């Protein structure tokens, strides 16, 4: 039922805005009244192309470019896995003093990517948005339970320290 409601709202947005040509990012929040649309944009979303490639073997960026230049695109899945990502989020304001375990996390079987956004000695001032992110870890495997376990194992290996901002 939730899937159908999400699909119906998404398709209504596409029809209302005349977006049916290419990739579209629809962001919504699930509330007690169902899905509430936050934004609709005719573009690929941030991390999703990588997750879709991990899960289905479809390179959305390449296929989108084919569509733009008039070539035939192929969105058929090559295989079916479960892919997910976990964002690493600063837990307080301050200066990023150290971060370790990244290479150990990347070496966990099933981990596809570990990426950091910030460098050491970077001031972190949280604003409650995407700029609070330190990085992310992506994983894939044949099952959602196994993928979640792989991802948690890798996340547990990454540690950082943040010192207080100078006064």
Cite the active site residues.
Answer: 43
Task: Give the tokens for residue 126.
Answer: 């949280």
| Inter-axis angle of helices 60-68 and 48-56, nearest 10 | 110
Q: Look at strands 123-124 and 94-100 and give their pairing.
A: antiparallel
């Amino acid at each position: 039922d939730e899937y159908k409601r999400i699909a119906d709202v998404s398709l209504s947005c596409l029809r209302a805005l005349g977006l049916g040509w290419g990739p579209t990012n629809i962001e919504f929040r699930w509330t007690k009244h169902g899905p509430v649309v936050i934004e609709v944009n005719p573009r690929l979303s941030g991390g999703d192309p990588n997750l879709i490639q991990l899960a289905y073997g479809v390179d959305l960026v390449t296929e989108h470019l084919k569509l733009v230049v008039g070539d035939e695109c192929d969105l058929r899945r090559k295989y079916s896995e479960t892919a997910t990502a976990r964002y690493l989020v600063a837990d307080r304001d301050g200066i990023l003093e150290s971060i370790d375990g990244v290479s150990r996390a990347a070496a966990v079987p099933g981990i596809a990517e570990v990426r950091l956004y910030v460098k050491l000695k970077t001031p972190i001032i949280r604003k409650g948005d995407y700029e609070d992110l330190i990085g992310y870890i992506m994983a894939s495997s044949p099952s959602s339970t196994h993928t979640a376990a792989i991802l948690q194992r890798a996340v547990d290996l990454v540690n950082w320290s943040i010192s207080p901002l100078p006064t």
